[in-house]
């Protein structure tokens, strides 16, 4: 059985006659498709614009850390989380906001009330629910944490200064310092294991230091950056570069 719809739209909001209101509501049914198409366009625009803004901010923060030389940025996939969640949960709200700029808040408010009263087909039958309200709740508990979490990763990068590797971690923490003088071994790992233990060629640099510390090149870095990282470390340390198929194949360093 279907649930009863919520209270109807008021008869005379802000002086609007019943006839005007009926005409307006009749037009809303034709606008639904247009609104849906606009939501899709806004979602795509939001996804790519916000992603590029976050990636550009990450690059700017890395280049402004006060150290010349090579900079390795965080994994590019990080900048898709918040834009992806936001595109899903915020595009409808943004579309209504843009519409209100041209048509006024009153028309948009009437439309949202009307839309909340339209029957929705579900597996349990016909239901009435407010999609806008549901999206706001999802935004609060999903999109907002994703925004905060992703923003705290904006400064994650590694800088190769004149005397050390500086690794900037999460939440704008102070960098971890790895002195070139403490490097004992440089290894180029050929790849990693994927599903069903299949080998994926994905060269990465692994550096071992005195005291058992280890620095590893971030995943998903371009191959050109891996080569530049190796060249930079070789120039700084004059150490030979070893090779290993997987990270677990790197032998333990002798004590001392």
What is the average pLDDT across 64-92? 93
pLDDT tens-digit readout, 37-49: 999 999 999 999 9
pLDDT tens-digit readout, 190-211: 998 988 889 989 899 999 999 8
| 189 closest CA partner among 226, 164, 162, 225 | 226
pTM score, two decimals? Answer: 0.80
Confidence of residue 17 (pLDDT cuts 50, 70, 90): low
Q: What is the pLDDT of residue 11?
A: 47
β-bridge mates for residue 166, sequence order: 159, 177
30-39, 109-118, 147-156, 247-256: which is most confident: 147-156
Query: Which has more pLDDT, 27 or 61?
Result: 61
pLDDT beyond 90 at 113: no
- Residue 106 Cα to chain centre, angstroms: 34
pLDDT beyond 50 at 12: no
pLDDT beyond 50 at 220: yes
pLDDT beyond 90 at 254: no
pLDDT beyond 50 at 135: yes
pLDDT beyond 60 at 14: no
Cα–Cα distance measured from residue 65 to residue 132, given in angstroms and rounded to the nearest whole number: 42
> Phi then psi for 203, rounded to 5 degrees?
-60, 135
Cα–Cα distance measured from residue 183 to residue 39, given in angstroms and rounded to the nearest whole number: 53
What is the average pLDDT across 127-152? 88
What is the average pLDDT across 50-78? 93
């Amino acid at each position: 059985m279907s649930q009863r719809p919520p209270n109807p739209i008021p008869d005379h909001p802000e002086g609007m006659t019943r006839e005007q209101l009926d005409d307006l509501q009749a037009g809303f049914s034709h606008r639904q498709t247009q609104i849906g198409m606009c939501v899709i366009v806004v979602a795509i625009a939001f996804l790519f614009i916000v992603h590029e803004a976050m990636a550009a901010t990450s690059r700017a923060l890395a280049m402004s850390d006060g150290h010349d030389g090579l900079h390795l940025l965080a994994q590019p996939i990080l900048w898709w989380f918040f834009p992806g969640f936001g595109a899903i949960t915020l595009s409808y709200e943004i579309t209504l906001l843009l519409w209100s700029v041209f048509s006024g808040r009153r028309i948009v408010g009437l439309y949202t009330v009307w839309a909340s009263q339209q029957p929705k087909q579900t597996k349990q039958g016909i239901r009435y629910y407010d999609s806008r309200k549901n999206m706001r709740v999802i935004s609060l508990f999903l999109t907002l944490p994703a925004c905060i979490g992703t923003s705290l990763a904006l400064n994650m990068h590694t800088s190769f200064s004149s005397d050390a590797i500086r690794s900037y971690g999460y939440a704008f923490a102070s960098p971890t310092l790895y002195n070139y003088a403490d490097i004992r071994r440089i290894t180029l790992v050929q790849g990693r294991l994927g599903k069903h233990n299949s080998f994926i060629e994905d060269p990465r640099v692994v550096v071992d230091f005195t005291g058992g510390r280890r620095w590893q090149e971030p995943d998903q870095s371009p191959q050109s950056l891996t080569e530049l990282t190796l060249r930079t470390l070789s120039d700084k340390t004059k150490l030979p570069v070893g090779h290993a198929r997987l990270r677990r194949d790197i032998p333990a360093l002798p004590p001392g």
